[in-house]
Amino acid sequence: MSVFRAANNVNKVPADRPYPINQRPRDEAIPDGPTERIDDRKSRVRRDRIASLGVVFAVFALITSSIAVLAAWRAVSLARLVAMSMPAAAGATAPPGSAGFSVTYAREPLRVQVGCSAVLFVDLDEPRANADEQVSDLRYDSRCGQDVPRLTLGPGAAAGAQVKDSDTDADGCQRAIRTTPIGPGGGVQVRKGAVLCVLTAAIPPSMSLVEITDVGTTGTAGMRATSWKVTG
């Protein structure tokens, strides 16, 4: 009868294996996963930073161009408003306008020619020299050398004031009429360089600036008038 004998050394570590069967030798290389070079990683980070900076610069350029377009649009709008407020007469230059007023005519020449001790009326709404007394805003009295001619307010004027500067604007006229008005019976001597403001009683009313440009010896005088329509 045959007898089968199992080997007694099945779990015995071979003599030529210096480490346990369930452990890896210390000097045996451990397999690595996918790797990349450190230089490649730095290059990719640098490219990402450059791309981010490019986006920032693009956004900044877009914002800057938008601001420039807005500024240009405002400049064009302002130029249009200035052009609309300029006087219609070619080459005429009016004193600056003001809020609540619009220029109707600028530096319109008026010539007064009367005889000795004569009276002439001026309408500033139109404007017109030798106007009808009932609608006149100024009364010109010639004294023929006996005294200096005088300008007084006519029936068509609501108020007036003498000012020093021919470049006074509508606001300046309004302030002068409020603070230093020409009282009842008062007037202005007709001398070269004299300036007065007149608020008319027309509907709608107008504010006028009248400057005496020259005075003759026989009852003549030159004037220059600017008018604003009261809109506010």
> Distance between CA atoms of 187 and 90, rounded to whole angstroms?
33
pLDDT band at 84, cuts 50/70/90? very low
The CA dihedral of 221, 224, 228, 229, to the nearest 10 degrees, is 50
Q: Which residues of 42-74 are buried (b: 16+ CB within 10 A; e: fewer)?
A: eeeeeeeeeeeeeeeeeeeeeeeeeeeeeeeee
pLDDT at 72 over 90: no
pLDDT at 178 over 80: yes
pLDDT band at 159, cuts 50/70/90? very high
Tokens 């240009």 correspond to: 72
Distance of CA 111 to the CA centre of its chain: 38
Stronger pLDDT, 63 or 118, i.e. the higher one = 118
Judge if pTM exceeds 0.85.
no
Q: What is the pLDDT of residues 98-142, one digit of tens each?
A: 678 999 999 999 999 888 888 999 999 999 999 999 999 999 998
Q: Which range has highest mean pLDDT (40-44, 145-149, 227-231)?
A: 227-231
Q: What is the pLDDT of residues 11-58, one digit of tens each?
A: 555 555 555 555 555 555 555 555 555 555 566 666 667 767 667 667
Mean pLDDT of 5-15: 52
pLDDT at 8 over 60: no
